[in-house]
Structure 1
Amino acid sequence: MPETAKQKIGLRERKKAKTMASVQMHALRLFQEKGYHATTVEQIAEAAEISPSTFFRYFATKEDVVLTDNYDPLLVDAFDNQSPELSPLQAVRNAMISGITEITDEEWETTRQRNQLIMAVPELRAAAMNNLTQMMHLLTQMVAKRLGRSSDDPAIRTFGGVIVGVNISLMDYSAEVTRLEFAKLLEEALEVVEKGLIIE
């Protein structure tokens, strides 16, 4: 692909991410002010200075404005850049923690508010299961590629489920702590997994 075409794609993706972040920011503010159920897509679009049709180009539903993020490609990239000498668990741990420590405080605040809403609104909790399942599939594909094995391998599928389980166990905390405190909690939880889930 010519360099100019790559630059155009990169610019388009950055513009898309910026618009999505702006819409989410306005949506979260309105959810706090009016409540999730009382806030309409039309109100979110008006606050973000876009049309409702533009809103639906970025988010399929009102639920998606809470559930969607752009962090998966960053996780994959960070994982692929880990030393081949590390175990899959060590590589995932490093990739996840680096992702948390490298985002801005503003991005963490958005993440914190999103998780708070997900835990508080029953339909968002239910819809989040789809995202968590997708995350499990992403993790299994990442690890399978690293090890040269099938993503259907029971050990690799179990690994993906365990990492997602760790994230679920920490979602409550993410609404109350700073991003660096959360990174520490995540590291401690994954160290427990690395030791074989031995609880003394």
Structure 2
Amino acid sequence: MTAPEPRPGLRERKKIQTRARIRREALGLIQEQGYQATTVEQISDAADISPRTFSRYFSTKEAVLLSVDHIPPIIEAFIAAPAHLSVIDAYRQAVETTFAALDDDAREEAIVGQRLMYSVPEAAGLIYTEYVRLIGPITDALTQRPDAPTDPVERRVLAGAIVGVLIGASHGTPLPGDPISTSLRVLDRMLR
């Protein structure tokens, strides 16, 4: 069992708060005015930051739509999942646990961001880039799962299979649950 991560320092907590504020303001403006009509300058003004500060937190306007902040806790929960669970079941549980732990505001923000991500044409490729990027952290986490393959290529293929299921099942689906959970259960059954 791994020791819990130490609480982030003040500077890191402020960065997390600033990032969350920028994203919250951006989503609110985009819902109110539409994606095309919302500018980085408007988002920056609403979040009480400069456009330059915006670019330190988000590489593009489209990037505010992504919920990448959920990836580290999912990976941590995946690693910490009970050893008796299969790899796929452990990942499914990690996703469900992470999203179940969100408060109502964070859940609503995740839903809004996901819906916008799938409906804004400029953002379409960004989510799939993030899915491809997710293969790396899952592959790394598999080294800590007891029943994961020991071969690095096999671990990467398994991580790719998990991400493939996420892509196939989640297109247009705001949050985990069905069809994502059902699809991961199908993959788990197929791999046994």
- TM-score when normalising by structure 1: 0.81
Which of the two has greater helix per residue? 1
Q: Are the counterparts in 2 of residues 101 and 183 from structure 1 also a CA contact under 8 Å?
A: no
1:161 counterpart residue number: 160
**Is residue 2:139 matched to residue 1:140?**
yes
Which protein has greater RCO, CA pairs closer than 8 Å, 6+ apart? Answer: 2
How far is the alpha carbon of 1:150 from its aligned partner?
4.2
Q: Are the counterparts in 1 of residues 22 and 43 from structure 2 also a CA contact under 8 Å?
A: yes
Q: Are the counterparts in 1 of residues 79 and 144 from structure 2 also a CA contact under 8 Å?
A: no
1:188 counterpart residue number: 182
Q: Are the counterparts in 1 of residues 67 and 113 from structure 2 also a CA contact under 8 Å?
A: no
**Is residue 2:166 matched to residue 1:172?**
no
- Structure 2's unaligned 5+ residue stretches are 1-5
Q: Are the counterparts in 1 of residues 88 and 185 from structure 2 also a CA contact under 8 Å?
A: no
Change (3 A) 1:10 1:185: farther
1:27 counterpart residue number: 26
- TM-score when normalising by structure 2: 0.84
Deviates more, 1:132-141 or 1:39-48: 132-141
1:47-77: CA deviation from partner (whole Å, max 9, x where unpaired):
1111112212211221221225312221122
The number of equivalent residue pairs is 183
Distance 1:63 1:150 in 2: 36
Distance 1:190 1:89 in 2: 7
Query: What stretches of structure 1 move > 4 A for 4+ residues in a row?
Result: none
How far is the alpha carbon of 1:184 from its aligned partner?
4.9
Q: CA RMSD in A?
A: 2.1
How far is the alpha carbon of 1:113 from its aligned partner?
1.1
Task: Give SS of 1:18's match.
Answer: helix
How far is the alpha carbon of 1:14 from its aligned partner?
2.0
Distance 2:39 2:17 in 1: 21
Distance 2:142 2:90 in 1: 9
Task: Give SS of 2:49's match.
Answer: coil
1:13-72: CA deviation from partner (whole Å, max 9, x where unpaired):
222111111111110111112211221110001111111122122112212212253122
Distance 1:90 1:58 in 2: 33
Q: Are the counterparts in 2 of residues 24 and 65 from structure 1 also a CA contact under 8 Å?
A: yes
> Which residue identity lines up with residue 172 of structure 2 in the other structure?
D
Q: Percent identity?
A: 35
- Structure 1's unaligned 5+ residue stretches are 1-5
**Is residue 2:90 matched to residue 1:91?**
yes
Change (3 A) 1:96 1:68: closer
> Which residue identity lines up with residue 89 of structure 2 in the other structure?
Q
1:40 counterpart residue number: 39
